[in-house]
Chains A and B, each alone.
Chain A
Amino acid sequence: MAYKIAISKATKNVLTETDPDNLIFSSDYNTLKYHASGDQAVVIDCADYYDSEVFFPFGTWYYHRKEETIAHGLGYVPYFTSYVDVFAGGSNYNMCPGTFVDFLYYYYAYAYADATNIYLVVEGRNDATSGTVTFNFAYKIFRNKLNI
C-alpha cells in the first residue's frame, strides 16, 4: 500500500481531492527545495575590453565581457535562476537574461550553470575605455537536480 501526505485547501476533502489546485501540499508532487541564494555584483571595467570596432562617424566602440563564479558544491547541475538590476530601472530586478540595446550600446546579462558553478556573465559594447558599469545579480539555487 502506498502512503502519502496531503493537505487540502479549506472546504476541500483531502480524502477524495485529486486536483492539485485544491491541495496545499501533496506528496504526489515534487517541490523546489532551496539550496542557496545570494547577491553578486559583476563589474565591467571599461578599460578592460577584448575587442573594438569603428562605426563611422560614431567613433570607436569597445566590447566587454565579465563574469563572476558562484560555487554551489552540489556535484550536479541544479535548478537555478537569477535576476539582475540594471535593465528594469530604479531598484527593480528583472529575470535573467536581461538585455539592453540602444543605438550602438548593448548589454546582456546571463546566468549559466554546470555541475560545479553558477556563472553570472555580462557581455556588452559601449564607447568607454574608462570607468565601470555595475550589474547586481540576485541568484537562487535549488537542490533539484536537472539530470542534464
Chain B
Amino acid sequence: MTYVLKVTKAGENVLTATDPNDFIFNSELNTFKIIAEGNYYSQTVNADPKVFTIAHGRSSTPAVYAFAEFPDGKTTLPNEVDYNFAGKWWLLSVDATNIRLTFYKDDGGANYNVDIKYYIFETPGT
C-alpha cells in the first residue's frame, strides 16, 4: 500500500483535490528545494566588468538565482540595470563549478558597492 501526505488550502477537499495549485503540500509532487543560499555584502565593483565567483559545490550545473541591491537602494533581478538607469547592470551565469555574478559600471564610472543574495536549487535529472 502506498501512503501519501497531502495538505490542501482552506476550502479544498484533500481527499478529492487533484489540482497542484490547491495543495499546500502534496507528497506526490516534488518540492522546490533550496540547497544553499547566502549573502555577500558591500562588494566593491572596482572594474568593468567585475566578476564575483561563488563555488556551488554541486556535481553538475544547478538551477540558481540571485538578487543584487545597487546603491540606489533597489534590489534587482539578474540581468537588470539599476533602478535609476545610472549605467550599472549585472549578469548571472552558472557552469558545472561556479556561479558568476558579473557587474558593469557606466563607462569610466566610479566604483560602487553592491549587496548580493544567491540561491542554489535542487535540480533533478542533471
Contacts and interface: CB of A to CB of B under 8 A. Distances in A.
A25 B31 contact: yes
B32 A31 contact: yes
A77 interface: yes
A96 B79 CA distance: 9
Contacts of B67: 77, 79, 113, 146, 148
A32 B35 CA distance: 11
- In this complex, which of B2, B31, B39 has the most chain A Cβ atoms within 10 angstroms of its Cβ? B31
A119 B34 contact: no
Interface bin, chain B: 20 to 34
> B-side binding surface: helix, strand, loop or mixed?
loop
A112 B27 contact: no
Nearest to B5: A7
Contact of B77 (A10, A21, A96): A96
Interface stretch (B12-20, B47-55, B68-76, B104-112): B68-76
Contacts of B27: 7, 24-25
Contacts of A20: 33, 35, 122
B39 A147 contact: yes
Contacts of B124: 21
Interface string B28-42: 111111110101000
B24 to A, nearest CB: 10
A26 interface: yes
A29 B115 CA distance: 24
Q: A-B pairs with the 4 shortest C-beta distances?
A: A29-B33, A112-B74, A30-B34, A146-B117
Given A82-B77, A148-B75, 18 more contacts: A10-B2, A20-B33, A20-B35, A20-B122, A23-B33, A24-B27, A25-B25, A31-B34, A32-B34, A97-B80, A110-B76, A111-B77, A112-B75, A113-B75, A114-B73, A146-B67, A148-B39, A148-B117
